[in-house]
Every structure is written in structure tokens, then in C-alpha cells.
Chain A
């Protein structure tokens, strides 16, 4: 019994060491997940960024057909990298609604002419209110919204070509 107890401090120290070492070796995931997954999209109404006749609102997300909401900006460098994947999604008949953060129509037009335009409509979120209402912590972020307007999935960061299959699967689940 005493012999076992003699080892106790060592075991305690070793386990503490293991906890700290694992924390150092695997840095925590710094992404902030949205609390809206599983809930209805917040009420919002944004003017159309390129076409004033095409506003974006909560109603344009609940049309009976699952779609994608992409939070992006023309000034966002990583957003350029996800453009090919979004174009790929569009070519598979996925409707993509864009929300442009802190953007300007001229800058956005240039961005779309250089990288392609996968968006069915783009809302102008000049003061990030809609982004905050969606629990989005940055650009780019992508949400899968089902036909009833319920957020089903959130993808944080660049949509890479190999994420297309995951998003297609989530869209199918949302059907």
C-alpha cells in the first residue's frame, strides 16, 4: 500500500504533464460556430447590392427549396479562393444567395467579373447587422438553409473543392 502511495505524486505529475502537453501540441479550434444551426433564419431585409430590384430577406431563403447562403466580401482575400467551389455548386443547380459585408457595388462588380458570379442575389450588409444576426464571426462563411428557412449546416472558412461533396450532401439532407 505504502509503495503504491509513493508513486502517487509521480502519477499525478505525469498526468498533469500529459494534459498540458496535449493542449500545447493540439491548439484549440479557434472558429466560432453559429448558434443558428437548427434554428430559423433571423428576420432580416437587405437591399440588393447590384440590383436594387433584388433585395435579400428571410423570405428569399424560405422558398421551399434548400439553398446556400454565402457571407463574403470583395475585399476578403480567402473569398477569391472559394470562388471555384461556389461556381461548381452553381453549375449543379444550387441557388446561392450572397451577403456582402462592408462592400461597394463597383468593388463587388470587379470581384465578380474576375472570379465569376455564382450568386442568384446579393444583399448589401453594410453594417454587419445581418452577419451578427446569423452568428457569423467572419468571412467567408457558408450556411445551408432548408426550404422552410431553417439553418441546417454551417461551413466556416473557405469552401474548398473537396467541401463541395459535403455541402451537396447537406443540401440533399435538407430536402
Chain B
């Protein structure tokens, strides 16, 4: 009798082991709402994994990247705007965490130099055309 009881207990023992970590189910699962999933995906593809650094969090196997995916999906499901989440992540990790270039700040020269180069090119070319016309 006791043996049978023990066997029964052993059979169900995996059920007794409660999941100890409360990881988000959305780390690697899509949101039920396709529109929200599309928004989350678009954001996750432009957030850099802070562990592997060359990858977006969508393509990273790092635990931290998985947790970031879960967090982004949950926050979007809760109605938060993707760009607000991006801004929050930039606040925490710096501009570097976003693959989407932001206008202004340290990236200003990147936007302005091409304009200068174009203006300089036009100025140089102008001289050429004048000479030919004569």
C-alpha cells in the first residue's frame, strides 16, 4: 500500500517541482494580436543585443536578449508605443542600443557632412561647366 502510494507520488513528482523562474512566456513566442506582434518585431529588429553587440535582439541567443524580447512584447501588449520603449532603452544603455539612427546629438556630423560634400561638389562642378561654355 505504502509502496503504491510512493510510486504514485513519484509519478507526479515532476508536477511538484514548481517552475522556479518567472520568465516571460513571450521571450520566444509571438503575441496573439498580429498587429502588436508586427510592431514588437519591427522594434526588436532595431534594438541591439547588449551582450553580443553585433546582432539585433531578434537574432540573439543570449538570455538578456530573450528577456528584452519578452519585455518589449509585454509592454507593447500593454499598449505602450514602440518609440517610447526605444527611448527608454536609449536612456538606459545609450544611443548605441538602437540600430535606428537618431537625428541630432553625436550623430549630427553624419547628417551634415554629406550636405557639405554635395555643396562643395556642386561648387567645383560649376567651375567646370563655366569653362566649357566659353
- Closest CB-CB distance, A164 to chain B, in whole Å? 27
A1 on the B face (CB < 8 A): no
- Evaluate whether A102 and B63 lie within 8 angstroms (CB atoms) in the complex, with A126-B22, A137-B50 already known: yes
Contacts of A132 in B (CB 8 A): 64, 67-68, 71, 89, 92
A109 within 8 A of B: no
Bound-state CA distance A128–B94 (Å) is 18
In which size bucket is the chain B interface?
20 to 34
Cα distance A127–B110 when bound, in Å? Answer: 37
Cross-chain pair count, CB within 8 angstroms: 60
Q: Known: A104-B21, A138-B50. Contact between A129 and B67, CB under 8 A?
A: yes
0/1 string, B69-80, CB within 8 A of A gives 1: 011000000000
27 residue pairs from A and B, CB less than 8 Å apart = A30-B53, A32-B50, A32-B93, A32-B96, A34-B93, A35-B93, A35-B94, A36-B92, A101-B63, A104-B21, A105-B20, A126-B21, A126-B22, A127-B67, A127-B71, A128-B63, A128-B71, A129-B67, A129-B71, A131-B64, A132-B64, A132-B67, A132-B68, A134-B92, A135-B91, A137-B51, A137-B64
What separation, in Å, do the CA atoms of A134 and B93 have in the docked complex?
Answer: 9
A 95-131 contacts with B by CB, 8 A:
101-102, 104-105, 126-129, 131
Give the complex CA separation of A27 and B107 in angstroms. 21
The answer to whether the Cβ of B39 comes within 8 Å of any Cβ in the partner chain is no
- Interface size class of chain A, counting residues whose CB lies under 8 Å from the partner chain: 20 to 34
Residue in contact with B64 in the complex, picked from A30, A105, A134, A138, CB distance below 8 Å: A138
A33 at the interface (CB under 8 A from B): yes
